[in-house]
């Protein structure tokens, strides 16, 4: 939808194009069912381009590449991977879980090589808020009748080189291009009757920020629809009053003529 002519009337084809974008966003997980239903209702109620434009303003245009989302921001509000590659030895270089579990998460420095073992247990290595000791780090996982989850933020390149016997390494995130200057995470190791998962997730603070933005947009759309409906009701009242008053004057004129 164009912003240059917001008052131009939208056609049925325009509304269907917006509905198709919403269906794609639902399928990709960009919208939940509640948001999808609200936006779809607003789409079919929209009369102008100005009403249609906000409905998909935060969604990618079909055929275009969606911008990547970086996870850690400067205090001033900027974004830079260089600030997260700090060098040094790392805050922790190994972890073991035997019929138990371990976690490495929050603000910590991931070393050049992190070794971990999960035997009848589980572990989580969360890099979403971590700093990195080097531009490339290795996470070596041994999972025997247990499992290890590696969580990385968007923008990080992932390479999976592990070996699984009656187990496996998750390779779904491999091959996704990284941001310029972002770290590279190599996941290696061995899984026997166990598994090593690799997931790409937003940090909690970023999810909350995006959720708040969607909530504000939802409130603005509801307010806009309320103003539009109020304006339409006022217009209908004006039309009714005009017609009723005109008929009343005609009746009074006829009565005066008869007198």
pLDDT at residue 1 tops 50: no
CA distance 116 to 238: 75
pLDDT of amino acid 4: 46
For 139-166, letters b (16+ CB in 10 Å) and e give bbbbbbebbbbbbbbbbbbbbbebebee
- Report the run of H or E that residue 129 belongs to, with start and end: none
pLDDT tier, 6 (very low <50, low <70, confident <90, very high otherwise): low
Q: What is the pLDDT of residue 54?
A: 86
- d(Cα 229, Cα 238) in Å, to the nearest integer? 14
- Tracing tokens 């779904």 back to the chain, one arrives at 172
More confident residue, 46 or 115: 115
Q: Is 22 exposed, middle or buried (0-12, 13-18, 19+ CB in 10 A)?
A: buried
> What are the C-alpha distances in Å from 41 to residues 29, 102, 191?
19, 46, 49
Residue pLDDT, tens place only, 26-57: 877 788 888 888 899 889 988 888 888 889 88
Q: How far apart are CA 219 and CA 38, in angstroms?
A: 11
Q: Of 170, 197, 201, which Cα lies nearest the Cα of 69?
A: 201
Q: How large is the angle between the packed helices 12-27 and 33-45, nearest 10 degrees?
A: 170
**Distance between CA atoms of 9 and 84, rounded to whole angstroms?**
49
């Amino acid at each position: 939808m164009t912003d240059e002519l917001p008052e131009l009337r939208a056609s049925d084809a325009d509304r269907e194009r917006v509905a198709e974008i919403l269906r794609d966003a639902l399928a990709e997980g960009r919208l939940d069912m509640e948001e999808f239903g609200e936006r779809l209702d607003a789409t079919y109620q929209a009369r102008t381009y100005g009403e249609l434009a906000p409905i998909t303003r935060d969604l990618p245009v079909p055929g275009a590449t969606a911008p990547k989302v970086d996870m850690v921001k400067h205090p001033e509000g900027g974004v830079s991977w260089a600030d997260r590659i700090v060098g040094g030895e790392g805050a922790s270089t190994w972890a073991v879980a035997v019929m138990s579990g371990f976690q490495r998460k929050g603000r910590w420095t991931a070393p050049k090589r992190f070794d971990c073992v999960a035997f009848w247990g589980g572990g989580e290595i969360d890099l979403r808020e971590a700093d990195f000791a080097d531009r490339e780090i290795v996470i070596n996982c041994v999972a025997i009748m247990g499992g290890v989850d590696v969580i990385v933020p968007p923008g990080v390149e992932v390479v999976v080189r592990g070996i699984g016997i009656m187990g496996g390494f998750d390779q779904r995130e491999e091959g996704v291009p990284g941001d310029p200057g972002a770290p590279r995470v190599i996941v290696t190791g061995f899984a026997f009757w166990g598994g090593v998962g690799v997931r790409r997730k937003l940090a909690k603070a970023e999810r909350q920020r995006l959720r708040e933005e969607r909530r504000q947009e939802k409130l603005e759309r509801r307010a806009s629809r309320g103003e539009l409906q109020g304006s339409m009701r006022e217009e209908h009242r004006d039309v009714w009053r005009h017609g009723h008053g005109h008929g009343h004057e005609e009746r009074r004129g006829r009565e005066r003529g008869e007198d």
